[in-house]
């Protein structure tokens, strides 16, 4: 299954289900197939991702697995632009 994140100020961001669920869980939206980040909720979502990336990097052993930093970069860029332009982000499958 694919998750599609949308906003009025960016292109769509499409993620595979396991990756999207992992990031949504970090941002406090576990088990939500559809949802919305209102502009005022975006800073907390960005902060949660940044904290999780920092924590992973502190205890990380080098592997061939895609890091959380790499995996979260597209959605962090999307959230940052939406915050700057005062636009909500919605997602669904």
Question: 6 near 12, Cβ under 8 Å?
Answer: yes
Q: What are the residue ranges spanned by the domains of the chain?
A: 2-92
Question: What averages of pLDDT result for each successive group of 10 residues across the chain (93 residues)?
Answer: 95 95 95 94 97 87 78 96 97 85
Sign, CA dihedral 35-48-70-57, equals: negative
pLDDT value of position 16:
95
Q: Which of 78, 93, 92 is nearest to 8 (CA)?
A: 78
pLDDT score at 65 = 79
């Amino acid at each position: 299954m694919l998750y599609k994140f949308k906003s009025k100020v960016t292109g769509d961001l499409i993620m595979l289900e396991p990756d999207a669920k992992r990031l949504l869980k970090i941002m406090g939206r576990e088990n939500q197939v559809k949802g919305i980040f209102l502009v005022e909720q975006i800073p907390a979502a960005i902060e949660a991702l940044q904290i999780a990336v920092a924590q992973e990097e502190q205890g990380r052993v080098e592997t061939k697995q895609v890091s959380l930093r790499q995996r979260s970069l597209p959605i962090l860029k999307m959230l940052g632009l939406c915050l700057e332009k005062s636009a909500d982000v919605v997602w669904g499958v």
